[in-house]
A and B are shown apart, each in its own frame.
Chain A
Amino acid sequence: MSRPEHTAPPEIFYNESEATKYTQNSRIMQIQADMTTRALELLSLPPDEPCYLLDIGCGSGLSGEVLEVEGHVWVGLDISEAMLDVANEREVEGDLFLHDIGHGLGFRPGTFDGCISVSVLQWLCNADRSSHVPKRRLARFFTTLYSSLTRGGRAVFQFYPENPDQVELIVSSAMVAGFTGGLVVDYPNSTRAKKYFLVLFAGSPDNSSQPLPQALGTDLPQGTEPS
């Protein structure tokens, strides 16, 4: 499988035709919605409480719409203008920003109850320009994300790691920035359904340590696919 982040920077790859494809392909839309629903579950927000959430790499707003249905108010960041234009055309409720998350976020401390991100984090490991040092970009991103969350807030990233070194780089950058937490791998023995989620805790309200949520499908033997 070719990895899109190897073909071009995200703002080039997600051009108009790619952006339109994202909202016309019902299979892509369903996968995106499912992963958002799972990310939201891993956030474990207080039940029946409308929250203020950040969507990193919101794209055309498919994930944001899942947040809206659950009654949350959201803010989305994306580096692709074409994707944001599609989000605008679809009249999503969330606030949209054209932003390179590798430059760090510009929100006051304690702004968001939580953060979700679907299929974005691996892009941060690219060096598209000579000035791009992935380690520095990850550090800026995680440090500013940490401060923009309320204490005890969580950030959940579904992503497609390329290799164990990349996972190590991402997780260690998040820990250096102050987060605790780690990787939750759903359906680890399935080739088709295996999904990586980085679950991060920005402290805790009472300084207690929080256990990682349980992954799905860990009891399935190698080679069996979930129905």
Chain B
Amino acid sequence: MRLITHNMLQCPVKGCSKDNFPLRIEDAEIENADADFNPQFLKRMLDRIAWGALVQTSFSLGVAKLPESPGDPNDDEFLQTLHHVLLETRVKEGRMVCNGCGHVYPIREGIPNMLLQENEV
């Protein structure tokens, strides 16, 4: 799972609407995978990124340091850093934990298990 998609995830458990985002990542094994640099895509997505959550997550995982607020979308260095964090950083193993309801979503081979019990939907 790339960090761009982690930034879009919120806990889908029924009734969990407080502190359901971002899901806290624990015991993560991080993998870097090269991806084609696509400034057009990054600019398109910039408005959709929850910046505070991204800064917090990338800090907790010890990946590249991001500025406190989004940089200039025309600054190539900023876009390169953003590209690396969003699209080249993958969580391979570990788990995501919801700060609201405590649900644990295990991650195996890069694939989060989002299955819920019937009483959670």
Contacts and interface: CB of A to CB of B under 8 A. Distances in A.
A98 B8 contact: no
B25 to A, nearest CB: 14
A4 interface: no
Bin the interface of chain A by size: 20 to 34
A8 B113 CA distance: 21
Contacts of A110: 48
B11 interface: yes
B1 A95 contact: yes
Interface in B1-23: 1-2, 4-5, 8-12, 21
Task: Point out which of B8, B38, B110, B115 has the most chain A C-beta atoms below 10 A from its C-beta.
Answer: B8
Contacts of B121: 103-104, 140
Contact of B44 (A51, A95, A97, A129): A51
Nearest to B11: A106
Contacts of A99: 114-115
A131 B109 contact: no
Contact of A108 (B10, B38, B41, B118): B10
Given A103-B12, A104-B121, A106-B12, 7 more contacts: A50-B40, A52-B45, A95-B2, A98-B113, A106-B9, A107-B8, A111-B8
Interface of A: 49-52, 71, 73, 75, 77, 79, 81, 84-85, 88, 93, 95-100, 103-108, 110-111, 129, 131, 140, 144
Interface of B: 1-2, 4-5, 8-12, 21, 35, 38, 40-41, 44-45, 48, 50, 87, 109-116, 118, 120-121
